[in-house]
Structures are given as C-alpha cells and as structure tokens.
Amino acid sequence: MRHSQVIELSLTRRYNPATMSIMRKDNKPHDSTTPDTMMTRREAVAVGTAAAVAATAVRSVAAKTSATGTPPVAVASKNGLEAVRRAVERMEAGISPVEAAVQGVAVVEADPEDTSVGYGGLPNSEGVVQLDACCMDGPTMRAGAVAALEGYMHPAQVAYEIMRRTTRVLLVGEGAARFANSLGFPEENLLTERARKIWLYWKGQMSGIDDWIAPPDLVEDPDVQRFIKKNGPVRPTGTINLCAVDGKQDIGGTTTTSGLAFKIPGRVGDSPLIGAGLFVDNEVGAAGSTGRGESVIQISGAHTVVELMRAGQSPRDACLGALDRLVRATRVPYLLDSDGRPNFNVQFYAVNRAGEATGAAIWAGSKYSFCRGGEEARLMECASLYPTIAPWKKDLK
C-alpha cells in the first residue's frame, strides 16, 4: 500500500470530539462487535503504519521544541492553575497551542466548584446557565466562538470546532446549540444545586417590594455563606482566559465563561469576542481578559494589549497600558467611586513570542496562573494600576 493510501485510510475514520470514539464514513460509531465495521488485516496494518508515522512526527516536534531552547509557556487567570499545567503538558506532547489551551480550560469548565465557568457556573436572572467562549490560532489567525450557549459543558471545545470545521467565527444561542448537537456533544443540565441556591438567595435579596424573600435557612446555607464572604455585594464575573506559546513560538489561546452572575438573559460580555476577551497574533503574542466585560469591549482590550506589545512594550507594560486606557475611558458616574476611580476590576493576561508572560489588574491583590515547561505551575502576583486592594474587597475574608 502506498503512503498516500495509508494517510487517506487514517483520515476516513473521523474523531468524534464528544464521545471520543472513532467514526466511520457513514458517521456511525465504530463498533468492533458489528461485522460491517470490523477492520481487515490490510486496514489494521495500514492504520498501524499511519500511527507509527504520527508517532515519529510527534517525536520530531518534541525534538524541534527542545532544539529551540525555549520551553512552552502558558498563562491564565487565577482559577487556571491546573489548566496551565495541562496546557504545557499537551504542548510538550506536540499539540498546537490553541488546542492545548482548549484542553487545559476543560478542567475548569467541568469543575462544579468553580461557579464562574461551565458546569456549576452561576445562571442568568432566570436561573438558566448561558455560556460564552472563544479560541484563536496564531499561525492561521483563524478563530471560533460561541455566545449564550445553553446545555453544553465545554463551550471552548464547541468554539474550537467552529474554527476547525466552518468558515465562520461566532455562533450564538440556539444556532450554537444545534451546531454542538450535530457534532455529538452531550446536552446536560449545567445548573448545580450550589448554583441554584445562590441564585435563589440573590432573587430573595433583590427588592423589598417584589414577591421573593430569602428565608433564614437559605441565608445560613454553607454554600450561600461562602458566596457572601467571597463576593460581598459585588456580583462575580468569573471567567478563565488561557494564552499559550510553544517551543516553536507558535501561539494560541482561549477564553471561556458563564458570564456575569444573574445577568440579563442573552447578555454577552467580552469573553467570546475576538479582539476583546482574546486576541492572538503569531508575529507578536496573545492576550485575554477577565472582569467587567463591557469595559473591555469598549477599548477592544485584548487587541489593545497585543498592539502595545507590537509597538515594543513588554507584556507587563502592555497590560498596564491597556488598563490605563480602560480607566480613562470609564467616565459615567455609576461606574466610578467617590474618588473618581472604577468601582470594578479588570485583569489582562499576556504572553509574547519569547515566552514572557504576565497578569495585570486595575486594583492590587489579583493573581494569575503561570507554567513553563520543566517547572511547576504556580500562582503569581498581578501588577496593578492602583497600589491598594479594591475598596469593596477590604472587608471580605
């Protein structure tokens, strides 16, 4: 069998991203117990040969990565410690940075303990979990995104498939859900019991003249108390952004979120918007954000950070420069405190082609996750515009 036939045969069995099963040409899962799906000896030899070729390619990538002397790097928001570790591990195995980033954040998307992303994310004002995400590939400048996606735990993976399988970038709402369903992603109820209790507490606190109250047993519930102590009167925004660069200096990134807690149904922040919640350019670097999405959108935040790096600034200075521009663009009274400063926070994260990475925030006290190949993942202090902790955070434990 010729080499071209081996490659063609290996590509006829598609990979199902949701079920992790091999797919036949007729789109049915491969079942070794069904006679018409059994591989012939010739096919088995061919697939084995293709696997050997792929393994050699992976080893070649690893060798090339090592030869550059630049280990892969991943930077993410504070909740991405395990995500950056996994992303670096995947890049070391030869996977592209954008795919490694998407696989990294899947850990957080599936974690019910994180109420800002994926499964367990806090719902909108009607109690429905709506997810947003995007991803972008530096070498090709291609991107994919979903917004207001309901019922699917891994919006970053759906965004990746939009990038990989279509000529479009952004799908929203029911259209995004239909696309996910067409690829076999499992539909699930994403509202956990913890998130439901927090939502009911929020409804009970909304007004003294509506029909809802928060009974004492709900207020005293451990999950609700933890939410109150962590966030105080401020609605959490959450999100995870992860940007990565491999040993060949290829770059990719992703941002995924359940959005502003208790948001207006259909509200979309910066996370799924290319140029706002994420931007990647293989010639320069990548950047992403967490925090008040509307403010990030108004200055095209991630794109601004990358353009400042293009102009020669370090990732740290570029993040601080974008934050300064954001603060100067915040002019409406309801977004300012008594001293004229933003009454919210935004964090930017960035990495350049050389693997220099950082995080920066408006207010002091934020952290970011960082991992470099051959090192342990760790939390690091963000740089900040203001040297003090945000006023609404000072009384929180």
**CA-to-CA distance for 274 and 302, rounded, in angstroms?**
8
Q: How many residues does the chain have?
A: 397
DSSP-based three-state secondary structure for 48 = helix
Q: Quote the tokens at residue 47.
A: 């697939």
Mapped onto helix, strand or coil, the DSSP state of residue 350 is: strand
Contact (Cβ atoms closer than 8 angstroms) between residue 104 and residue 75 = no
Choose the catalytic residue: 237, 239, 304, 330.
Answer: 239
Is 37 tagged catalytic?
A: no
294-300: Cβ within 8 A, 24+ apart: 294/269, 294/270, 295/326, 295/329, 295/330, 295/335, 295/342, 295/344, 295/346, 296/269, 296/270, 296/326, 296/346, 297/269, 297/270, 297/273, 298/326, 298/329, 299/325, 299/326, 299/329, 300/275, 300/276
Measured CA to CA, the distance from residue 201 to residue 172 in angstroms comes to 29
DSSP string, 141-182: TEEEEEEEE-S-S-HHHHHHHHHHH-S--EEEHHHHHHHHHH
Do residues 389 and 363 make contact, with C-beta atoms less than 8 angstroms apart?
Answer: yes
Residue 241 CB-density burial (10 A; 0-12 exposed, 13-18 middle, 19+ buried): buried
| Catalytic residue ranges | 239
